[in-house]
Amino acid sequence: MYRTLINRLVSLRVYPRVNIHLSTPKLKQASSKNVQQTKSSDTNDEVKFDYVNNTGIILLNKPKTLNALSLSMIHQIYPKMKEWESDGKTKLVIMKSTTSKAFCAGGDIKALLARTSEGERLRREFFSEEYKLNHLIGNYRLPYIAIINGITMGGGCGISVHGPFRIATETTTIAMPETAIGLFPDVGGSHFLPRLPSNLGVFLGLTGYRLRGIDNVHAGIGTHFVSTNKLEEIERKLLEIPNVNHDSVKAFLNQHANVVRI
């Protein structure tokens, strides 16, 4: 259906043809074991943190809700990122998921829909704090890598696309589905969507269409592509980069991952 729609739009010159592939072959699934295990032993933690070789690692850990972003998660991530940014020893920050199914499927809508005075307060605070986190990521002084393996939608885009490095895999599924519930594409969608090539961002914002796999790199949402069977190796080598800075991280990813553009 979507292929037919795009072909029609191309023929009408409303949506010029772009170099994306609407189907991506599935590669062999890799083990979901993390390269570096978190030091936290509490399996109920929504967010876990690890610290290896001057690298801060943020692990989203709500697999049952596909890491739906909650206010409590934001309240843990934001101060930790600020701490790492100013401690003088942290050189790199990586955000990833503890599950291969999803990086982050969006905001925790269930918590935001409570029809109470507390629900209204929560909604106001959630969006305010979420946008502060998005802004921090977009202006972060340290190299920031989001490993967007699996489902990455809405709020998941907000905590990834504003950073300089976004590693996609063949299981990555990107979408901004907010319009389906009557909301504009938020978390900075009005900033990054218009900057995608050939009106692709307008198409994604209006339809909520899902880009999969390497399509996300061709579209410019992902900066690099790594197949899942190579992901653990890349993560391990990232922790071993000498003299870490933006240039060295970019050079490493350009050498070890498939890159379309930065």
Rounded to whole angstroms, how far apart are CA atoms 237 and 194? 34
Cα–Cα separations (whole angstroms), residue 139 to 57, 80, 156, 215:
18, 15, 17, 26
Which stretches within the chain are classed as H helix? 2-11, 71-86, 109-112, 117-138, 155-158, 189-192, 200-207, 215-219, 228-238, 246-256
Catalytic residue, candidates 178, 213, 215, 222: 178
CA distances from 90 to 20, 84, 240 (A): 37, 6, 13
Would you state the structure tokens that stand for residue 212, as one six-digit string?
Answer: 């999969």
Q: Which of 56, 106, 107, 201 is catalytic?
A: 107
Any idea of the CA torsion for 166, 216, 186, 60, to the nearest 10 degrees? -50
Catalytic residue among 155, 158, 163, 220: 155
Identify whether 87 is a catalytic site residue: no
Active site annotation includes 233? no
Q: Are 101 and 69 in contact (CB under 8 A)?
A: no
Tell me the C-alpha distance between 56 and 49, whole Å. Answer: 7
Instruction: State yes or no: is 215 an active-site residue.
Output: no
Q: Which of 108, 130, 170, 186 is catalytic?
A: 186
The answer to whether residue 182 is catalytic is no
Let me know: does 191 contact 221? Beta carbons within 8 Å.
no
Q: Catalytic residue numbers?
A: 107, 155, 178, 186
